[in-house]
Amino acid sequence: MSGVRKTCLTGHKVLIAHGHPRPKPKVRRAGGFDVAVTQVGSTDHVNVYIDQALDQNQATTLANILLDQVEAAYLQNAGYYNPQLQLQPVNLVIAQLSPGSDGTGGAFHFGCDLTSGGTLYCDADFADPVGTLGLFIAELDEAFQGDPSNPDQGWGCGFSNGEAHSRVAAFLASGGPFGSLAPFTTGPAWDQAGRPDFITVTEPTDRNAISTGCGMIFIDWLFSLGFSFTQITQAAADTLAGVYQNLTGKTTAKDDFFNALTNVQIQDDDPFNSYGNAASIRSNGLQVAVDVAKKTVTVSSGWSVIYART
């Protein structure tokens, strides 16, 4: 692991679709929320609230759908990190961040740990609850990145590498790069900008689609090399080059990455068609690793598999 990041940017951490206006912070209300809220329910690690500015019937329906999903999503995201990460409850506020409540308003939170950054404001997506679930994971992942209990520091909440990591985590929880959060694609922005080097350099912002896009394509490439998102996460470093070095022992990340991109067209965040390498399903202790690119399925030893063509 390369040097631990000594500081973490604080303030308004925002996830937005490219070109969408940023949500504006509001005056903090009693109880510590930015909006007037009603609590709908809780799981072991997630308290779910709805913004009172939303249509309450639609918002309550959405909240109840998410209550069945957020705990498993929380634990899946936490599982990418070192087991020493201390799990703490967070607040999910389903908020009115877009005029049409369609998820395009994105999400935001404050701070880079589970304490200061543990209240996550996510745009209501009444048409697609999985979109709001993905936004929740994007913000939660950033809180995990900088939490003092996480020994694998380096993914910078508020930095370009950490923003890419959180978006990948969100994709994995919401159907991949072509799933519910497809409008948040940033890889083409990096390509169209001439593919500048954000491999050996990490930009100190989470608001530049170009540097974020570089990180998205780089992680996609790591998937194509056979690394899981857990391995990538725990190989944390201050730069993407450092992550590659931690995974492979090589100091040639930039050259290897750009060589791999020869003749590769970037029209989305999965030009290597490798997100299947990161897919996994857990049930009653059984882990099933699905590698779409290699068309293989790996299960825990001791389990039998019945194959049926569909």
* Tokens linked to 118: 């543990």
pLDDT of residue 305: 58
- The DSSP secondary-structure symbol of 249 reads S
Residue 4 has a pLDDT of 35
Beta pairing partners, 41 = 48
Q: What is the pLDDT of residue 7?
A: 37
Helix axes 160-173, 70-79, angle to 10 degrees: 130
Res 136: pLDDT: 97
- Find, among 96, 123, 93, the residue nearest to 107 by Cα: 123
Mean pLDDT of 212-237: 96
Tell me, yes or no, whether 207 lies in a domain. yes
Residue type, position 88, single letter: Q
Q: Name, in order, each residue with C-beta under 8 angstroms of 24's C-beta and a sequence gap of 6 or more.
A: none
The arithmetic mean of pLDDT across residues 14-27, rounded, is 49
289 in any annotated domain: no
For residue 12, the SS3 value is strand
Q: Is there a single domain that holds both residue 151 and residue 207?
A: no
Q: Are residues 143 and 261 in the same domain?
A: no
Q: Is residue 182 part of a domain?
A: yes
How far apart (Å, rounded) are the C-alpha atoms in residues 274 and 224? 5
Q: Cβ-count burial of 293 within 10 angstroms (0-12 exposed, 13-18 middle, 19+ buried)?
A: middle
Q: What is the mean pLDDT of the chain?
A: 86
Residues 134-163 have a mean pLDDT of: 95
Q: Map residue 71 onto helix, strand or coil.
A: helix
Tell me the average pLDDT across 111-133: 94
pLDDT at site 276: 75
Task: State the DSSP H helix or E strand holding residue 286, giving kind and residue range, or none if neither.
Answer: strand 286-291
The β-bridge partners of 49 are 39, 93
Give yes or no for residue 257 having a pLDDT over 50: yes
Q: What is the pLDDT of residue 301?
A: 57
Number of domains in the chain: 2
Same domain assignment for residues 147 and 182: no
Distances (CA, A) of 80 to 23, 84, 109, 146, 165: 29, 11, 21, 14, 11
Q: Are 124 and 91 in contact (CB under 8 A)?
A: no
Q: Is there a single domain that holds both residue 22 and residue 150?
A: yes
Together in a domain, 37 and 150: yes
Q: Which one of 114, 134, 160 terminates a domain?
A: 160
Same-domain check for residues 80 and 133: yes
Q: Are residues 133 and 193 both part of a single domain? A: no
Residue 275: per-residue pLDDT: 87
What is the rounded CA–CA span in Å between residue 188 and residue 230? 25
Q: Could you tell me if residue 116 is inside a domain?
A: yes
- Give strand ranges (E) for the chain: 12-15, 37-42, 46-51, 90-95, 107-110, 119-123, 279-283, 286-291, 296-299
214 and 100 in a single domain? The answer is no
88 and 188 part of one domain: no
Give me the phi and psi of 161, to 5 degrees please.
Answer: -70, -40
Quick one: 248 and 204 in the same domain? yes
pLDDT band of residue 16 (cuts 50, 70, 90) is: low
Q: How far is CA 93 from the centre of its chain?
A: 17
CATH code of the domain containing 38:
3.30.2010.30
Would you state the structure tokens that stand for residue 55, as one six-digit string?
């249509």
Residue 168 lies in a domain: no
pLDDT at 32: 76
- CB neighbourhood size of 230 (10 A): 14
* Boundaries of domain holding 184: 178-275
The contacts of residue 159 (CB under 8 Å, 6+ apart) are 5, 9, 202, 203, 204, 205, 206
If one compares 295 and 21, the residue with the highest pLDDT of the two is 295
State the pLDDT confidence band at 13, using cuts at 50, 70 and 90. low
SS3 139: helix
- Per-residue pLDDT of 27-83, as tens digits, reads 444 457 999 999 999 999 999 999 999 999 999 999 999 999 999 999 999 999 999
Tell whether 147 and 183 lie within a shared domain.
Answer: no
Asked if 21 and 153 sit in the same domain, the reply is yes
